[in-house]
A and B are shown apart, each in its own frame.
Chain A
Amino acid sequence: MITNKVWGVRLRTRARGRALVAGSLAGLVLWQVLAVIVGAVTTQGAHVVPPLPTIFTSGITGLSHFYKGGLGPATTIEGAPDSPGLAALAVGQNGLVTWGRFWAGYLLAVGLGLPAGLLVAGARPVRHAVGGVAGLLRMLPLLAMAPLFTLWFGATGRAGVLFVTFGAFWVVLLATSNAVANLPAHVTDYPRTLGLGPVRLRTRVVLPAILPQLRGALMLAAGTAWACVLASELYGIQSGLGWALNQTLVYSLVDQMIVLALLFAGLSLASLRLIDAVTGHLTRWTE
């Protein structure tokens, strides 16, 4: 067994759950101290750095304004007061929209990027030709291009989904074609001698063989997809958690802004965990 120690000195550090918990608690305490100080020295301090009780009360119930109706209860525009129930409906309504846009765009990007990457990797000239173009398109300022998709497809969910697909597609395509290029020749040579055709070779041999290499890229593509969802909702689309975040910016509602940012972070982390678990299950044969 490797001890990870040289003459009693540990060579490797490790993640510790208690450090995560302690760090989170320290963050909360630091925030509260900062809120008290800023609140004491400035007139608008409580709005700029709201104390924790404000975030956990008005920061949550204030989200009621983002409930658009259609699920039973009246909206705040119709006179209903802010309440935890309405806030939950608002979060559910907008969170589901954002969640749906992420998955639709991401799965579309993976669904298109994987076969495109396999095709591109099939011939070296095509790989060079597409690789250069994909490299340039990958360098475009993606987040700043969100308004372009709104111009093309309107301020609709479709614009958001296609923007996510555009952002994540290049990551998947480049990673797939690179992974195929890095495969040792014998992995494909031997099945060829057994008479496997090009389609079955790619689906039965190449795809499973490159999947371990693709795990990181699929996570990276998911991160890109989340950034794209947020950008598209911040800059034009009128629904989703990103839209709500933009509204809190317009009215400088920092308490609600923090709750929405935490919700967004939670959804993002949950989806990455899910993708990690699924790809881990698919590549369990490597362990």
Chain B
Amino acid sequence: MRTTPSLRIAAILWGAAGFAGLWALWELAAFGVANDAVLPGPRVVLWQFERHAGGDRGLEFLGVEHSSYGINLAWTVGTAGLGWLIGSALGVAAGLGAARRQWLRDVTEPVLFVFGAVPVLVVAPLLLVWLGAGPVGKLTLVTFYCFVVVAVVAQSAALNLPPAVEEYAATLGLDAAARFRAVVLPAALPAIVAVLRLALATGISLQAGAELLGPRVGMGRLISLRAQQGNVGEVLSLSITLGLVAVLLDTAVRAAVAPALRWQG
């Protein structure tokens, strides 16, 4: 069903009302708690963000290489983004390939079966020991996570296409490669796009989560230090900043793939 412009405007307005409601509710809760150390209101969090976004000597004293939020944000999102690109590309290729070639399915099945159900964070300590606290370990973690989750969904999306559709394409004279390009790939694309968006958001979260375990740079490291200081406001400010960047990236991905999904209506 297509949405009319008036329905779309109403949706945006109600969405804005939702955020206003959240702000008011949060402000009210903070007023009720009456202790900024436990639950600072949104204005306090915003003020703390403005105060420390440019840098904080205190954090540098605690071993952070660059205390500016911008640099740490770029580091975390950049590393996660690179891992997402590599892992997703490999995942799409492996998932679609495994749906078409039995030998590839046999090879990938054990990895996808286990890590499709187990949180990848469980291997973070191992990677930390093997690859150190630098970016390589985190990059490997995010790449591996994106590979697994994208491959599982791409494989399942390609397998869910009713065989009759492909059989019909074959009767029209399309060979295997042409059927894959013209039938299987477009049919699997909506599910693949959905999982790419999920993988990007979760990849950033995973990167920040892994950074809690000890590097000298990254938003996760800043969150960890602020948590050790008991600074709830800064932890919230850093988390929300990372969340907003994830929303922006998600919007960019959605816009980028929109032309390829126009056939859905």
Chain A residues proximal to chain B, CB less than 8 Å: 2-4, 6-7, 9-16, 19-20, 22-24, 27, 48-49, 124-126, 128-133, 135-148, 150-152, 223, 226-227, 230-231, 234-235, 245-246, 248-249, 252, 254, 257-258, 261, 264-265, 268-269, 272
B14 sits at the interface (CB 8 A): yes
The answer for the CA separation of A133 and B22 in the assembled complex, in Å, is 7
The answer for the CA separation of A261 and B118 in the assembled complex, in Å, is 10
The answer for the CA separation of A229 and B206 in the assembled complex, in Å, is 14
- Could you say which residues of chain B place their CB within 8 Å of the CB of A147? 212, 223-224, 227, 235
B243 near A234 with CB under 8 A, answer no
B113 sits at the interface (CB 8 A): yes
B164 sits at the interface (CB 8 A): yes
A20 near B110 with CB under 8 A, answer yes
Give the distance to chain B from A33, nearest Cβ to Cβ, in Å. 16
* A140-B243, A230-B121, A272-B117 known, 6 other contacts, Cβ within 8 Å: A9-B176, A136-B243, A231-B121, A234-B124, A265-B114, A265-B122
Looking at the complex, which one of A13, A49, A141, A246 makes contact with B98 (CB distance below 8 Å)?
A13
- Could you say which residues of chain A place their CB within 8 Å of the CB of B114? 265, 269
A151 near B15 with CB under 8 A, answer no
- Could you say which residues of chain A place their CB within 8 Å of the CB of B18? 128-133
Looking at the complex, which one of A6, A16, A140, A249 makes contact with B129 (CB distance below 8 Å)?
A249
Q: Of residues 15 to 73 in B, which have CB atoms within 8 Å of A's CB atoms?
A: 15-19, 21-22, 38-39
B143 sits at the interface (CB 8 A): no
Look across to chain A and name the residue whose beta carbon is closest to the beta carbon of B246.
A139
A141 near B213 with CB under 8 A, answer no
Looking at the complex, which one of B38, B105, B123, B220 makes contact with A19 (CB distance below 8 Å)?
B105
- Known contacts A48-B129, A146-B212; decide if A138 and B159 are in contact (CB<8 Å): no
Q: Of residues 151 to 209 in B, which have CB atoms within 8 Å of A's CB atoms?
A: 159, 163-164, 166-167, 170, 176, 201, 204-206, 208-209
- Could you say which residues of chain B place their CB within 8 Å of the CB of A136? 19, 243-244, 247
> What's the dominant secondary structure at chain B's contact region?
helix
B122 near A230 with CB under 8 A, answer yes
The answer for the CA separation of A7 and B170 in the assembled complex, in Å, is 9
B140 sits at the interface (CB 8 A): no
Look across to chain B and name the residue whose beta carbon is closest to the beta carbon of A231.
B209
A-B contact pairs, 12 of them (CB 8 A): A19-B110, A128-B15, A129-B14, A129-B15, A140-B240, A144-B219, A145-B223, A151-B230, A152-B38, A230-B121, A245-B125, A261-B123
The answer for the CA separation of A144 and B220 in the assembled complex, in Å, is 6
- Could you say which residues of chain B place their CB within 8 Å of the CB of A144? 205, 208-209, 211-212, 219-220, 223, 239, 242
Give the distance to chain A from B5, nearest Cβ to Cβ, in Å. 15
B111 sits at the interface (CB 8 A): yes
Ranked 10 nearest A-B pairs via Cβ: A143-B209, A23-B110, A129-B18, A147-B227, A128-B14, A132-B15, A144-B208, A19-B106, A227-B119, A140-B243
Look across to chain B and name the residue whose beta carbon is closest to the beta carbon of A16.
B106
The answer for the CA separation of A272 and B118 in the assembled complex, in Å, is 9
Give the distance to chain B from A279, nearest Cβ to Cβ, in Å. 15
A13 near B105 with CB under 8 A, answer yes
Give the distance to chain A from B120, nearest Cβ to Cβ, in Å. 8
Give the distance to chain B from A162, nearest Cβ to Cβ, in Å. 14
The answer for the CA separation of A22 and B38 in the assembled complex, in Å, is 53
A226 near B14 with CB under 8 A, answer no
B212 near A6 with CB under 8 A, answer no
A13 near B17 with CB under 8 A, answer no
Look across to chain B and name the residue whose beta carbon is closest to the beta carbon of A222.
B117
The answer for the CA separation of A265 and B115 in the assembled complex, in Å, is 8
Look across to chain A and name the residue whose beta carbon is closest to the beta carbon of B116.
A223
Give the distance to chain B from A109, nearest Cβ to Cβ, in Å. 16
The answer for the CA separation of A146 and B212 in the assembled complex, in Å, is 10
Look across to chain B and name the residue whose beta carbon is closest to the beta carbon of A247.
B125
- Known contacts A27-B110, A133-B22, A139-B247; decide if A13 and B100 are in contact (CB<8 Å): yes
The answer for the CA separation of A218 and B18 in the assembled complex, in Å, is 25
- Known contacts A16-B109, A147-B224; decide if A258 and B126 are in contact (CB<8 Å): yes
- Could you say which residues of chain B place their CB within 8 Å of the CB of A132? 14-16, 18-19
- Known contacts A141-B208, A144-B223; decide if A23 and B121 are in contact (CB<8 Å): no
